[in-house]
Amino acid sequence: MQRTALITGASRGIGRAIALHLARDGFDIWANYATGREAAQSLCHEIEALGRKAKALGFSVRDGKAVRAALEPLIEQDGVPHVIVSNAGVTKDGLMAMMSDEEWSSVIETNLTGFFHVTRVCLREMLRKRAGRIIAISSLSGEAGNAGQVNYAASKAGLIGACKALAKEVAKRSITVNVVAPGFIETDMVKDLPKDELARQVPLQRFGKAEEVAAAVSFLASDSAGYITGHVLSVNGGMYM
């Protein structure tokens, strides 16, 4: 049976690379975006050129109602995706002493509550099917902490805890739940960072590529990874071991 993968935040960066990689693996793609409608549509054309079906789905993962309105009818009509990749994420960096309520809550709501909204909508049908792969994109910051990212590190560490708990909840139904934790990856998110200086701190002496994160997701989404659950796979050039 043809399988589908849903990727949140697929319009750019790591999410886009994951969507293309999973399409090459043979999945049809539901590509979520928040603001990048044209980018998501152009991604869908690229996926269709690979011979797969693709849908661009516009909603903010922060908005539980919008998530349900977009996904429930699609699940009803086409069935639940086999793979869900919670990739949508934002940073609002700053020292905690100066952090506003909005800087705290918007990051938690997008990165952590967004995972809750999207996964919950799909979960009942996945449980019924007794199959599925749930993958969340965390971060080095969630594993090791990083000054200036108390909000972001909390959201990304929260994803790790949530995924380990969920892995235990759904294992009996053959659903796996895993986390990929990237280090510095070349995307818009890090474009203002001092790249040369930071790359010298990475044991592998360079930033990673979005495609290198996508390859890890592809493995965890595959049938070969069926006995791996509750795992955090770091893709960080050796920054945190």
Q: Which is nearer to ligand NAP, 4 or 60 (CB)?
A: 60
Q: How crowded is residue 91: how many other Cβ atoms within 10 Å of its Cβ?
A: 18
Please give the helix or strand (H or E) that residue 188 lies within, else none.
Answer: none
Nearer to ligand NAP, 60 or 218 (CB): 60
Comparison of 131 and 209: residue with beta carbon closer to ligand NAP: 209
Query: Shortest gap between Cβ of 189 and ligand NAP (angstroms)?
Result: 3
CB of 80 to ligand NAP, least distance (A): 19
HEC per residue, 14-26: HHHHHHHHHHHCC
Residue with tokens 């990237």: 182
Nearer to ligand NAP, 37 or 130 (CB): 37
CB of 159 to ligand NAP, least distance (A): 9
Q: Which two tokens stand for residue 193?
A: 């960072």
Q: Strands 83-86 and 232-235: what pairing? A: unpaired
Cα(8)–Cα(89) distance, rounded to whole angstroms?
9
Q: How far is the CB of 131 from ligand NAP (least distance, A)?
A: 25
Q: Tell me which of 33, 152, 227, 240 is the catalytic residue.
A: 152
Decide: 12 and 39 in contact? Cβ < 8 Å: yes
Work out whether strand 4-7 and strand 28-33 pair parallel, antiparallel, or are unpaired: parallel
Give the nearer residue to ligand NAP in terms of CB position, either 75 or 217: 217
Interatomic CA distance for residues 135 and 48, integer angstroms: 23
State how far the Cα of 12 lies from the Cα of 30, in Å rounded to an integer: 14
Minimum distance between the CB of residue 10 and ligand NAP, rounded to whole angstroms?
6
- List residues near ligand NAP by CB under 6 A: 8-9, 11-15, 32-36, 60-62, 87-90, 110, 137, 139, 182, 184-185, 187-190
Question: Is 152 in the active site?
Answer: yes
Catalytic annotation, residues: 152
